[in-house]
């Protein structure tokens, strides 16, 4: 079996690839993967992740920008691909106010390039990353996949458009599509631009850590190990619908101060500054995960304390934590 992963130097792509390489330790399994080591956050972290994956013989990597459709097609030419996992994107809600064009180029045009280049290969299934931010501000919690969508920023809009595009493709092809609405994924080798990774970086550098909205935010933190397991289970089930949208969340909103308090206590200390609300942020995310559970069967999500234990342990022990 061959799978194709985009954004493999990223947090989710890397962890998923590593997990798959460990599970399928056979000659018949191959991962073809790409990333362009975009410099939105540390390229050093991204390169370390990919080098770790390169120690597996059945991992084949190429530095390709998804904006370059020709290169994508050339790389995939005459390859048999069974499953596609499209994670490459310009992530980040707040950065979308600074550089909105990049979200159009990478998340919309790049998304179309990946879809066009891979659908030709007739894979059984294409997974692609959507986001919980697509819901915007809501009062109907937990957010179910049928809830109204109110994207508040270009990032969220780009993900909504991805879902609409996949919807159209699914109508005219034999490939199945799964859109993954990820809710604040955290864990080992996590993103340095997100709450936990950012705080770790500030502690390492003894700099002030700013907490938005004075900490009155809650997020449905979802452990990366669970994400990898869910993706593996989803790739094995028989789907009825050509296009399925799923919340990938633990259904447990946690106040962000609880997270920073734990990290400050167990990893190290730094100064905290409480600042006002950023208008691009949503106040709360809390997803309903009944739909994904119904598909994959009984699944126990990692509780926040255990997930944080594993995450903090990784940052304490890893020689790479210093790059945060
Ligand atoms: N981490 C989360 O909590 C979360 C939540 C919601 C949605 N998502 C989505 O899940 C996906 C993966 O997120 P992540 O947390 O791993 O982010 P990430 O930024 O760590 O990974 C994205 C990867 O895509 C690569 N990339 C960016 N532009 C590219 C381009 N033009 N060509 C090729 N590669 C490119 C980056 O270099 C990076 O390695 C993204 O689509 C993101 O929007 C993540």
Rounded-to-integer distance, Cα 36 and Cα 100, Å: 19
- Measuring CA to CA, which residue among 20, 45, 24 is closest to residue 35? 45
Q: Best of 9, 91, 107 to mutate for ligand 1, by most ligand atoms within 8 A of CB?
A: 91
Q: Cβ(184) to ligand 1 under 6 A?
A: yes
Which residues lie closer than 8 Å to 116 by C-beta, 6 or more apart? 69
Chain segment 300-320, per-residue pLDDT in tens: 999 999 999 999 999 999 999
Q: CA-CA-CA-CA torsion for 8, 12, 16, 17, nearest 10 degrees?
A: 10
pLDDT band per the 50, 70, 90 thresholds, residue 282: confident
Percent of the chain with pLDDT over 70: 100
pLDDT given for residue 48 in this prediction: 98
Average pLDDT, the chain: 96
Q: What is the pLDDT of residues 155-203, one digit of tens each?
A: 999 999 999 999 999 999 999 999 999 999 999 999 999 999 999 999 9
pLDDT digits (tens, 9 = 90+) for 53-109: 999 999 999 999 999 999 999 999 989 999 999 999 999 998 999 999 999 999 999
Domain 2-191+220-252+285-302 has CATH 3.40.50.720: yes
Is any ligand 1 atom within 6 A of the Cβ of residue 12? yes
- Active-site residue, 32 included: no
Mean pLDDT of 265-292: 94
| pLDDT single digits (tens) 195-226 | 999 999 999 999 999 999 999 999 999 999 99
155 lines ligand 1 (CB under 6 A): no
Ligand 1 atom nearest to 67, measured from its CA: 31
pTM over 0.85: yes
Read off the tokens for 272.
């905290």
Q: Do residues 235 and 125 make contact, with C-beta atoms less than 8 angstroms apart?
A: yes
Tell me the residue ranges of DSSP E strands in the chain: 2-6, 30-35, 59-63, 83-86, 125-131, 176-182, 185-186, 209-211, 218-219, 222-223, 243-248, 254-255, 272-274
Evaluate if residue 279 carries a pLDDT over 90: no
């Amino acid at each position: 079996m061959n799978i194709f992963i985009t954004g493999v130097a990223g947090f989710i792509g890397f962890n998923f690839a590593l997990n798959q390489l460990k599970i399928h330790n056979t000659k018949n399994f191959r991962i073809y993967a790409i990333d362009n080591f975009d410099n939105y956050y540390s390229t050093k972290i991204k390169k370390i992740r990919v080098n770790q994956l390169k120690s597996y013989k059945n991992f084949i990597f190429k530095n390709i920008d998804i904006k370059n459709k020709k290169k994508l097609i050339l790389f995939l030419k005459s390859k048999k691909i069974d499953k596609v996992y499209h994670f490459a994107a310009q992530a980040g809600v707040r950065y979308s106010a600074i550089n909105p064009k990049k979200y159009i180029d990478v998340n919309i045009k790049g998304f179309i390039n990946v879809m066009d280049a891979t659908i030709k290969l007739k894979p059984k299934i294409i997974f692609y990353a959507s986001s919980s931010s697509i819901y915007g501000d809501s009062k109907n919690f937990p957010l179910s996949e049928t809830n109204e969508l109110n994207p508040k920023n270009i990032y969220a809009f780009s993900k909504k458009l991805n879902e609409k595009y996949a919807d159209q493709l699914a109508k005219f092809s034999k490939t199945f599509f799964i859109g993954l609405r990820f809710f604040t994924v955290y864990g080992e080798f996590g993103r340095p631009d997100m709450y936990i990774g950012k705080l770790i970086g500030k502690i390492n550098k003894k700099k002030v850590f700013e907490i938005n909205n004075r900490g009155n935010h809650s997020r449905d933190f979802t452990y990366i190990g669970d994400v990898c397991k869910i993706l593996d289970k989803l790739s094995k089930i028989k789907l009825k619908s050509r296009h399925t949208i799923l919340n990938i969340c633990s259904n447990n909103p946690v106040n962000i101060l609880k997270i920073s308090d734990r990290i400050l206590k167990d990893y190290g200390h730094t100064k905290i500054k409480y600042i006002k609300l950023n208008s691009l942020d949503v106040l709360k995310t809390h997803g309903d995960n009944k739909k994904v559970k119904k598909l994959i069967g009984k699944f126990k999500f990692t509780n926040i304390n255990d997930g944080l234990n594993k995450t903090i342990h990784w940052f304490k022990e890893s020689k790479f934590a210093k790059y945060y």
